[in-house]
Amino acid sequence: MKKDRRAVLSKAAFTGVLVLSLTVGTAYADKNLNTVYQVYVDDESIGTVEKKEDIQAFIEDRVHRAEITYSEEDLKLNEDITFTREKNLSSESNKAKVLDQLEESISVSAESVQVNIDDQTVAHLSDHEEIEDVKKRLKEKYVEENILTQLESKDSKGKPIEKEEGESGILSVELSHEIKGESSEVHPSQISSVSQAVQEVKNGVVVENSDESQGGNKPIEGEVSEPLTEVVVKEKDVQEQTIESSRKIVETNDLLKGETETKQEGSDGRKEIHTLITKKNGSVETRETLKEEVVEEPVEEVILKGTKIIPSRGTGTFAWPAVEGTITSHVGERWGRYHKGIDIAGVDDRTIKAADNGEVVTAEYQSGFGNKVVIDHNNGYETIYAHLDSIDVEVGETVRKGNKLGVMGTTGNSTGVHLHFEIHKDGKLEDPASFFK
Ligand SMILES: [Zn+2]
What's 406's domain CATH number? Answer: 2.70.70.10
Distance 377 CA to ligand 1 centre (A): 21
My answer on whether 130 and 207 are in the same domain is yes
Distance 336 CA to ligand 1 centre (A): 14
At residue 246, the pLDDT reads 95
pLDDT value at 21 more than 60: no
The stretch 101-115 carries a mean pLDDT of: 92
Distance 257 CA to ligand 1 centre (A): 35
At residue 92, the pLDDT reads 62
Tell me whether residue 192 is in a domain: yes
| Residue whose C-alpha is closest to residue 234's, from 280, 179, 178, 293 | 280
How many domains is the chain built from? 4
Q: What is the distance in angstroms between the CA of the first residue and the CA of the last residue of the chain?
A: 120
Distance 322 CA to ligand 1 centre (A): 14
My answer on whether 290 and 343 are in the same domain is no
pLDDT value at 216 more than 50: no
My answer on whether 293 and 250 are in the same domain is yes
| Residue whose C-alpha is closest to residue 109's, from 181, 180, 191 | 191
Query: From CA 204, how far away is CA 201, in angstroms rounded?
Result: 5
Tell me whether residue 255 is in a domain: yes
Query: What distances in angstroms separate CA 71 from CA 37, 65, 92, 199, 209, one per listed residue?
Result: 33, 10, 39, 21, 21
Distance 376 CA to ligand 1 centre (A): 20
DSSP annotation string for 362-381: EEEEETTTEEEEEEE-SSSE
pLDDT value at 266 more than 70: yes
Distance 370 CA to ligand 1 centre (A): 11
| Residue whose C-alpha is closest to residue 192's, from 118, 133, 108 | 133
Tell me whether residue 272 is in a domain: yes
pLDDT band at 283 (very low <50, low <70, confident <90, very high): very high
pLDDT value at 210 more than 80: no
Distance 1 CA to ligand 1 centre (A): 136
My answer on whether 280 and 376 are in the same domain is no
139: Cβ contacts below 8 Å, ≥ 6 apart: 148, 173, 175, 231
Tell me whether residue 225 is in a domain: no
pLDDT value at 214 more than 90: no
My answer on whether 353 and 424 are in the same domain is yes
My answer on whether 392 and 419 are in the same domain is yes
At residue 312, the pLDDT reads 87
Distance 387 CA to ligand 1 centre (A): 9
At residue 5, the pLDDT reads 36
At residue 16, the pLDDT reads 37
Query: What distances in angstroms separate CA 421 from CA 28, 41, 322, 342, 418, one per listed residue?
Result: 157, 139, 10, 5, 10
Distance 125 CA to ligand 1 centre (A): 115
Distance 396 CA to ligand 1 centre (A): 25
My answer on whether 360 and 427 are in the same domain is yes
Q: Mean pLDDT lowest for which of 48-52, 261-265, 303-307, 352-356?
A: 48-52
My answer on whether 196 and 288 are in the same domain is no
Residue 108, φ and ψ in degrees, nearest 5: -120, 160
Distance 357 CA to ligand 1 centre (A): 23
Tell me whether residue 222 is in a domain: no
pLDDT band at 332 (very low <50, low <70, confident <90, very high): very high
Per-residue pLDDT tens over the stretch 132-188: 999 999 999 999 999 888 888 877 777 766 666 678 889 899 999 999 999 999 999
My answer on whether 200 and 254 are in the same domain is no
Residue 252, φ and ψ in degrees, nearest 5: -140, 145
Tell me whether residue 229 is in a domain: no
At residue 303, the pLDDT reads 96
Domain boundary residue, one of 182, 213, 244 = 213
The stretch 45-68 carries a mean pLDDT of: 91
Tell me whether residue 32 is in a domain: yes
Contact 85, 47 (CB under 8 A): no
Distance 430 CA to ligand 1 centre (A): 14
Return the amino acid letter for 41.
V
Distance 314 CA to ligand 1 centre (A): 24
Domain of residue 257, CATH code: 2.20.230.10
My answer on whether 401 and 355 are in the same domain is yes
Distance 329 CA to ligand 1 centre (A): 7
At residue 207, the pLDDT reads 46
pLDDT value at 4 more than 80: no
> Residue 190 gets which letter from DSSP?
G
Per-residue pLDDT tens over the stretch 378-419: 999 999 999 999 999 999 999 999 999 999 999 999 989 999
* Residue 184, strand partner residues: 112
Tell me whether residue 343 is in a domain: yes
DSSP strands (E only) in 42-80: 44-49, 76-77
At residue 326, the pLDDT reads 96
Share of the chain above pLDDT 90, in %: 62
Laid out side by side, the sheet with 169-175 consists of 169-175, 231-243, 269-280, 283-296
My answer on whether 299 and 351 are in the same domain is no
Query: What distances in angstroms separate CA 77 from CA 20, 65, 305, 419, 423, one per listed residue?
Result: 19, 12, 100, 134, 123
My answer on whether 260 and 343 are in the same domain is no
Distance 311 CA to ligand 1 centre (A): 29
Q: Is 325 left (phi over 0), alpha (psi -120 to 50) or beta?
A: left
Tell me which residue range forms the domain holding 238.
Answer: 234-308
Q: Mean pLDDT lowest for which of 123-137, 157-171, 207-221, 364-378?
A: 207-221
Q: Mean pLDDT lowest for which of 14-18, 168-172, 228-232, 370-374?
A: 14-18
At residue 7, the pLDDT reads 36
Distance 421 CA to ligand 1 centre (A): 7
Query: From CA 14, how far away is CA 26, in angstroms rounded?
Result: 19
At residue 163, the pLDDT reads 65
Helix (H, G, I), strand (E, B) or coil at 434: helix
> Residue 103 gets which letter from DSSP?
H
pLDDT value at 23 more than 70: no
Domain boundary residue, one of 308, 340, 372 = 308
434: Cβ contacts below 8 Å, ≥ 6 apart: none
| Residue whose C-alpha is closest to residue 163's, from 290, 1, 70, 256 | 290
